[in-house]
Structure 1
Amino acid sequence: MKHIVTGIVAHVDAGKTTLSEALLYQAGTIRTWGRVDKGEAFLDTDAMEKKRGITIFSHQAELQYQDLALTLLDTPGHVDFAAQTEEVLPVLDYAILVVSATDGIPGYTRTLWHLLARYQVPVFLFVNKMDTRGADAAAVLQSLQTALSPGCTDFTPDAAGRLSEAALENAATQDDAVLADYLDTDALPDAALQQLIQRRQVFPVYFGAALKQTGVTELLAGLAHWTVPAPAAAQFGARVFKITHDDKGERLTWVRVTGGTLAARAVLVNDEKANQLRIYNGEKFTIAQTVPAGAVCAITGFTATYPGQGLGAEKDAPHPTLQPVLTYAVDPQGNDIPTCLQAMQELADEDPQLHVTWSEPLQEIRVQIMGVIQLEVLRQMMADRFHLTVDFVQGHILYKETIKAAMEGAGHFEPLRHYAEVHLLLQPGAPGSGLVYDSTTSPETLPQNWQHQVLTSLAAKEQLGVLIGAPLTDMHVTLVTGRGSIVHTVGGDFREASWRALRQGLMMLRAQDQCVILEPWYDFRLEIGRDQVGRAMNDIQRMSGTIADTEDADGATMTVLTGTAPVSEMQSYTQEVNTYTHGQGQLETVVAGYRPCHNADAVITAANYSPTGDLANPPGSVFVAKGAAYTVNWDKVPETMHLPYVYSAAQLAALGHDRA
C-alpha cells in the first residue's frame, strides 16, 4: 500500500474543511458527518475553530482508500494564518487546492499557487460548490488555465473510468516529448501522466460539491491512481513543520520523516530524546515505537525545535516568504508583565513569525502579525490557555530597507592587541530575495576559518538600514577581501569589522541617495455597487493605490476593482467600505510583498533615526596609533584602510542596478 502526505489548501470559505470531512467520511475514517458551520468538523478540534467556523491551525488525519494510505493535513484558510499554511507545504507529496465554483480566482488562491510552485508541490484541484446556481465547469476550467496554469486539466472520468480525449490532449501538450509520443501512438500511458503530474506540468481538476458528497469519490480515486510515493532516503532525516502544546502543556514537535526510520528514545536534537512518537487522527493519537519514512508524527521531549528545521540528514526548509507586516504592543491590562511575556513567548515558540520581543526602553512587549483576525485569536488564546486578559495597541507598519546601487564597504577593528579588516561588496538583490551572504575571497588572501567568522557574524544578528533603522532585505553581500593577524586577531574581531563594513557601505550609499525604504503592499479585490465606482476610484487614488482591472459581477449590478495599494493606507479601509456600501461591498486584501515606500520622506522624518547615533551599529572603524585606539568616521574610512579597495567607482557603477 502506497503512502502519500497531502495537504488541503484554499481561500477561506471555499469549502476546504468540508472537503476534508467528506474525504474522511467517504473513506470510512469517520462514521458521522460533521459540519463546519455547526462546529462538528472532525479536524476543527480547537474551541476557537468550532466557534468561528474557520480553520486556524493545521491538523492531521489518516485515511485509507483502495491501495492508498493518505495522511491528510488540513491547513488554515484565512490569509492572517497563511504563515502556518506555508510551514506545512515543504512536507507535502501533493496538495489539494480547493476553489469555489462561483468566486473566481481570489488573490489568496493565487498566493497559494505561487507558494506551491516555490516548494515544488504537485497539485490536484477540486472545484467545490458546483451545486450553486450559475456554476459553469467549462468557464471555471478556462479561468484556472488562464490564471494558474494551462496544465489545469479536467480529470473527470467517464463511466468506464477513462479520461476524455480533450483531457489527454491538453495533458500531452504540456510536454514536447510526451506530445510527440502521443501524436505517434494516439495513446498516453498512465505512467506518463503520473510523471507529468509529479513534475507540476499537469494539474488534475475535479468538480463537485463537498457538502453533498458529489465528486469526492472521484477525487479519492484520482489520488489513489495518479499519485506516486516520494522515494525515501536510506539515511534518517525528518523535517519539522509545526510546534504545538497539547491540553496538558506537553510540547509537541510535528515532523515528516523523509528517510530511514524514526525510533522512540532516539537522540536527535541537543542531546534530547524523542520521548513519544504520536500518530494523530483528529484529536486522538496512538503511540508508535518507530515511524517509517514518509509518515507524519508528533514528538514529545524536544524543547528548542522550530518549524522548517531539518533533523538528521534533512536540511532546513527555505525561509518562509510570507512575513508579518504589522507590529503591535501588548497591553497587559493590569496583568504581571513577565507572566504575559512568558505566555507570548510560548505562542511565539509555536509560531516564530510572531517575533515576540521585549523593548527595554519602552518597557513593552511587541508582537508582529499579518492582520486583525490574528489579533482576535491571540487575545482569545491568551485568555483560554493562560487565563490572561490582554489587548494590543499602537499598531505600526513593518518597514524594510534595501539599496539600489553597488558599493564596497570597509570595516577595520584595531584596538590595542586586536586586528581585523573586512571589505564587503553590497549589491541590490531581487525583490523578495532577503539577505544573501557569500565570499569570493581566496583562502590565500584570507584563511577559510576567518572567512567563516565573517559570514557567520553577518548572519548572526538582524542587520539594520541607515534611513530609519528598519531591517535590511533584498541585498547580496559578498566578502571580497580581508586581513587578520596571527598574533593579534582574536574571537570577535572579524565580527566587529564585518558589521562596521556593512554599515560603512550603507552610509556611502545613503550619501549618494541610493538607499530605499520598502513598505508592504496589498493586492486588493473590491466588490461594490456600480454607482459607487467613482467613490472607490477616488479612495484608491487617495491611498496611492493603482487599479489594474475593472469588471462587472453579480449580474452587472456589482463591479469588481482589482489592483494594489500600500498596507499603511488600506489596512483600515474595510470599515469605510462597509459604511458607504451599507454592508453590501466586500474588500479582500492579500499581502503582495514589499515595494518602494509611497511616502518615504514622511516616514524618514517621523522616524528621526540617526545612523551615527545608533551605538549598537556603528559605521566608523577603530584604528590604533601610539598605543591608543581612535575612531575614524565612516566618510574618512576609505583613505585610512590598510588594504586597497577591490572595486573602482566605474566597476561599482557597472555592478549596480535599480531594484526591479
Structure 2
Amino acid sequence: MHTSSTSPSTSTPTNTLNLGILAHVDAGKTSLTERLLHAAGVIDEIGRVDAGNTQTDSLALERQRGITIKSAVVSFAIDDVTVNLIDTPGHPDFIAEVERVLSVLDGAVLVVSAVEGVQAQTRVLMRTLRRLRIPTLIFVNKIDRRGARYENLLRDISEHIAPDVVAMGAVHDLGGPEGSYTPFAAGDPAFTARLVDVLATHDDALLAAYVDADEAGLPYRRLRAELGAQTGRALVHPVFFGSAVTGAGVGELVAGIRELLPSEPSAPSEDGSRLVGDPVSGTVFKVERGDAGEKVAYVRMFSGTIRTRDRLPFGGKGGGREGKVTAVSVFEQGSAVPREGVSAGQIGKLWGLGDIRIGDVIGVPGVAAERRGGNGRHHFSPPTLETVVVPARPGDKGALHLALGQLAEQDPLINLRQDDIRQEVYVSLYGEVQKEVIEATLADEYGIDVAFRETTTICVERVTGSGAAFEIIAKDDNPFLATVGLRVDPGPPGSGVEFRLGIELGSMPYAFFRAVEETVRETLLQGVHGWEVDDCVVTMTHSGYWPRQSHAHGTFDKSMSSTAGDFRQLTPLVLLGALRRAGTEVHEPLHHFRLSVPDDVFGALLPALSRLRAVPHTQTARGSSYVVEGEIPAARVHELEQLLPALTRGEGELESAFERYLPVRGEAPDRPRTDRNPLCRKEYLREVAGVRR
C-alpha cells in the first residue's frame, strides 16, 4: 500500500484557504477528503464510503446510499495554512448544494476518475469553475484500478473541459494495485517545455524571455512562480494523478494545494477582535437545524469580524432583517470549535439568527457582492421537474407544509408552490433521486410518510414583444386608490427580471414604488400560461395616489387615503394586461445527452430517440460502439433511462445535463394557477379581500 508523504503540520496557521472538492458522482471525492484528513493527522483511520463511516457523509441516507447529499465542511492545516475543505455532492440531482458553495471558495480540486474519465457532470462543473475564474487543480483518481488511463485521458481533459492543463507528474504500474505517481523534476526537459508552451500563451513577457534565453532556457524557479500565478488567476490547471484508496499521489496534491492555490491572511487575533475600519461582510452558504431545532448558519467572512452578542443586519435582495448572534464556532483541525468571533477569510457557524436564509449577505452587502457569483445569479440551471407531495395521512397536511418549508430553507432551489384552491403543495426537483431523498428525510426527521404524483416538466415563459397597460385612480372600474401603469419588454437572455422607473421617484412615497416592484416580481412567477416569466424589463409608466387624509377633527381614514395594499392589489391586474398585449411564448428545457451503445444496436436506437423527440447532432464510431450526442426534452430523459437497458442489452451508457430552453412546438401547455387569477378581472376582484366598491 502507498502512503502519503504529507505529515501533520506543526506550525501555527496564519493563512486560510477555503477549498471545494467537486466531481461527478463516484469519482472518489469523499474518499479523497478522508485521505487528506488522514494525511494531515486529523483522523487516525480512513473511513470508507461503502462502509458508511466517512467524516463528511453524516446523514443516514448518505451512508445508506454511499453518495454525498449535503455539503460538509472539515478543516485541516498544511504548514501555515488552515484549509477549510468543503465536500460537495457529485450526483446532478444535488447540484444546488454545489451552487451555494461556489461563491465562498478560494480554490477547488476537481476529481476525475482515471477509469470513467470526463463525464457529464465533470464538464458542467469545470465549465462553471472556469466561468467564475475559481483557481482549480485537477486530481485524476483511481490510477490503481483496471482500465485506468493516462495519455488519452489528459487529451480528453484538454479537449473537453480545460485546454490549458499541465500534467505535474508521471504514473507507474498504471491500472494495478501498485500504481504510483512521481512528480516531474526541474530538469525534465519535456515538462519544462510543456510549462513554457502553456504559460507563454497567457504571458507575452515570458514568451519574449524564452525566445531571448540562452541554451539553458528560463530558470525553473521563474516557471514555477509563473505557474502559481496563472493557476491563481484560473488561466492554467495543473493535473495530478493518484489514488485516494492507496494514497498514491496525495502528498504531491497536498503540496500543490499549498503552493498553487491562493490563501488569505487569517484572523488578526485569537479573541476575534475587529480591526478598526473593516466593515462586517459575509455570505451564508448553508443552513441546518441544531439538536433543539434552532437554525445554524454557515457563513464565509469576507471582511471584519462577527462576535458573540453582536446584532447584525442581514438579508438577500429584499434585506431588512436582523438578529443577535448567541454563539460562534470556527472550523479548526477537523471540526467546528467554539470561539468568541469569526473573522475575514474564515468559515464559521452562527447561532441566534432565526430568520437567516441561504444566500443572505450579513453586514455590508458590497464586499460580499464583489465575490464570484455575488450578483445573485445562479451558476447552474434551475430545477426542471415538479411534482405534488401528498401526505399518506390527510391529517399531516399542515405538518407536511411546515416540514417542506424547513427543507426549502436549507435548499433554496427547492421551490415550493402552495395551491390554496386545491390544497396541494408542489415541489421542484432536479431528478428522481432527489425525490427519494425528500421522501426519506420527511419520514426519518419529521415522521411524515408521503407519496408523489407524476413528475412534470417546469417550463418558462418568454416575452415576445412589447405591451403596456395602466389603471387610473377613481376612473372606470378601478376600485383601488392607486394609479399604476406598466410596460413590458423582452430582456437579454439570462438577464432575469429588471424593474425600471419611467417616472420621477419623488412623484409618490417610496413605499408605494417598493410595493409595485415587489408585486411585479411575485406576479411574474405565473405568467399568461401559468409559468414563470424571465428575461424581461418591466417599466413603471404611470403613478398616482391620494395622500393621507382624514375627516374634519377625525383620525386617518383608509377609505380616502392610498395605502401600499392598494398598489399591491392593483399591480397584478395591470401587469397581466401588459403581458397579454406583449405576448409570451412557452419554452421547455432541453438536455444535452451523450449516449454510448454497442454498434449492433445502433440502428434500433435511432427510431426510439425519434419517438422521444431527441435530436442527434453527432454520431461517432469508436471501436465496437457508437457514441451519439444531441438534445432531448427534459421531460423525456427519465423515459430514455428506462428504455435503455432493454434497447442495449444493459450495455448502454447515458449522460445528460441541462443545456437550454427552446420554444414548445404546437399548443403551449398551461400550468394551473395558484393565485387569484388576475387574468379574469371579475374573479380577481371578487377574491381580493378588502376591495373598495
| TM norm structure 1 | 0.85
Pairwise mapping of residues 545-584 of structure 1 onto structure 2 (< 5 A)? Answer: 545-552=614-621, 556-584=623-651
Cα pair distance change 1:442/1:172, threshold 3 Å: farther
Q: Aligned residue for 2:244?
A: 210
Which string of whole-angstrom CA distances, capped at 9 and with x for unpartnered residues, describes residues 507-533 of structure 1? 1133xxxx2101122122222221221
Cα pair distance change 1:376/1:128, threshold 3 Å: same
How far 1:132 moved relative to its partner?
Answer: 3.4
Partner of residue 220 from structure 1, selected from 239, 254, 274: 254
CA contact (8 A) 1:34 1:42 kept: yes
Q: Aligned residue for 1:645?
A: none
CA contact (8 A) 2:288 2:410 kept: yes
Partner of residue 346 from structure 2, selected from 288, 291, 295: 295
Cα pair distance change 1:521/1:616, threshold 3 Å: farther
CA contact (8 A) 2:168 2:240 kept: yes
Q: Aligned residue for 2:184?
A: 158
How far 1:160 moved relative to its partner?
Answer: 5.2
CA contact (8 A) 1:524 1:590 kept: yes
Which string of whole-angstrom CA distances, capped at 9 and with x for unpartnered residues, describes residues 557-608 of structure 1? 33222221001122222121122333322322222243222x440625999x
1:491 counterpart = 2:491: no
Pairwise mapping of residues 75-90 of structure 1 onto structure 2 (< 5 A)? Answer: 75-90=88-103
Cα pair distance change 1:459/1:175, threshold 3 Å: farther
Taking only the aligned residue pairs, the percentage that are identical comes to 30
Separation in 1 of the partners of 2:35 and 2:672? 53
Separation in 2 of the partners of 1:285 and 1:411? 56
Partner of residue 438 from structure 1, selected from 496, 500, 506: 500
Q: Aligned residue for 1:429?
A: 492
Pairwise mapping of residues 465-614 of structure 1 onto structure 2 (< 5 A)? Answer: 465-466=527-528, 468-479=529-540, 481-485=541-545, 487=547, 490-495=563-568, 498-510=571-583, 515-552=584-621, 556-597=623-664, 599-601=665-667, 603-604=669-670, 612-613=679-680
Separation in 2 of the partners of 1:153 and 1:329? 48
CA contact (8 A) 2:199 2:226 kept: no
Partner of residue 385 from structure 2, selected from 326, 329, 336: 326
Which string of whole-angstrom CA distances, capped at 9 and with x for unpartnered residues, describes residues 61-98 of structure 1? 11112232211000011000001111111100011111
Amino acid aligned to 1:195: A
CA contact (8 A) 2:111 2:141 kept: yes
CA contact (8 A) 1:523 1:590 kept: yes
How far 1:55 moved relative to its partner?
Answer: 0.5
Partner of residue 174 from structure 1, selected from 202, 215, 220: 202
SS at match of 1:380: helix
Pairwise mapping of residues 121-160 of structure 1 onto structure 2 (< 5 A)? Answer: 121-156=134-169, 157-159=183-185
Which string of whole-angstrom CA distances, capped at 9 and with x for unpartnered residues, describes residues 191-244 of structure 1? 543332222211222122222211211111011111222479921111000111
* Larger CA deviation: 337-346 vs 494-503: 494-503
Cα pair distance change 1:138/1:171, threshold 3 Å: farther
Amino acid aligned to 2:667: D
* Larger CA deviation: 345-354 vs 185-194: 185-194
1:195 counterpart = 2:229: yes
Separation in 1 of the partners of 2:94 and 2:21? 14
How far 1:380 moved relative to its partner?
Answer: 1.1
Separation in 2 of the partners of 1:584 and 1:362? 44
Separation in 1 of the partners of 2:656 and 2:84? 31
Separation in 1 of the partners of 2:639 and 2:439? 20
Amino acid aligned to 2:184: D
Separation in 2 of the partners of 1:423 and 1:341? 34
SS at match of 2:489: strand
How far 1:452 moved relative to its partner?
Answer: 4.9
How far 1:11 moved relative to its partner?
Answer: 0.6
How far 1:483 moved relative to its partner?
Answer: 3.6
SS at match of 1:125: strand
SS at match of 2:422: coil
Q: Aligned residue for 1:377?
A: 437
SS at match of 2:455: strand
How far 1:8 moved relative to its partner?
Answer: 0.5
How far 1:288 moved relative to its partner?
Answer: 1.2
Q: Aligned residue for 2:462?
A: 402
Cα pair distance change 1:443/1:377, threshold 3 Å: closer
Which string of whole-angstrom CA distances, capped at 9 and with x for unpartnered residues, describes residues 93-140 of structure 1? 011111122324222222212332443322111112223344332322
1:96 counterpart = 2:109: yes
Amino acid aligned to 1:250: E
Which string of whole-angstrom CA distances, capped at 9 and with x for unpartnered residues, describes residues 462-519 of structure 1? 44221x211111223334x334256575434554565444322221133xxxx21011
Separation in 2 of the partners of 1:417 and 1:39? 61
Separation in 2 of the partners of 1:181 and 1:498? 64
Which string of whole-angstrom CA distances, capped at 9 and with x for unpartnered residues, describes residues 411-451 of structure 1? 54544783424242412431x33222234555588887765
Amino acid aligned to 1:326: L
Cα pair distance change 1:574/1:492, threshold 3 Å: same
Partner of residue 260 from structure 1, selected from 280, 284, 304: 304
CA contact (8 A) 2:576 2:679 kept: no
1:341 counterpart = 2:404: no
How far 1:251 moved relative to its partner?
Answer: 2.1
Amino acid aligned to 2:348: C
Separation in 2 of the partners of 1:58 and 1:427? 37
1:240 counterpart = 2:284: yes
Q: Aligned residue for 2:175?
A: none
CA contact (8 A) 2:473 2:480 kept: no
Separation in 2 of the partners of 1:427 and 1:353? 25
Pairwise mapping of residues 40-119 of structure 1 onto structure 2 (< 5 A)? Answer: 40-119=53-132
Separation in 2 of the partners of 1:282 and 1:52? 28
How far 1:280 moved relative to its partner?
Answer: 4.9
Cα pair distance change 1:111/1:443, threshold 3 Å: same
CA contact (8 A) 1:174 1:202 kept: no
Amino acid aligned to 2:307: A
Separation in 2 of the partners of 1:22 and 1:358? 45
Amino acid aligned to 2:253: L
CA contact (8 A) 2:329 2:342 kept: no
Separation in 2 of the partners of 1:407 and 1:5? 47
Which string of whole-angstrom CA distances, capped at 9 and with x for unpartnered residues, describes residues 275-312 of structure 1? 22123579953211111211111212222211111101
Which string of whole-angstrom CA distances, capped at 9 and with x for unpartnered residues, describes residues 308-329 of structure 1? 1110113564132432211111
How far 1:60 moved relative to its partner?
Answer: 0.8
How far 1:357 moved relative to its partner?
Answer: 3.5
Cα pair distance change 1:4/1:417, threshold 3 Å: closer
CA contact (8 A) 2:483 2:543 kept: yes
For structure 2, which runs of at least 5 residues remain unmatched after alignment? Answer: 1-13, 170-182, 267-276, 314-320, 548-560, 686-691
SS at match of 1:562: strand
Separation in 2 of the partners of 1:196 and 1:616? 62
* Larger CA deviation: 411-420 vs 443-452: 443-452
* Larger CA deviation: 337-346 vs 316-325: 316-325
Amino acid aligned to 1:601: E
Separation in 2 of the partners of 1:193 and 1:585? 40
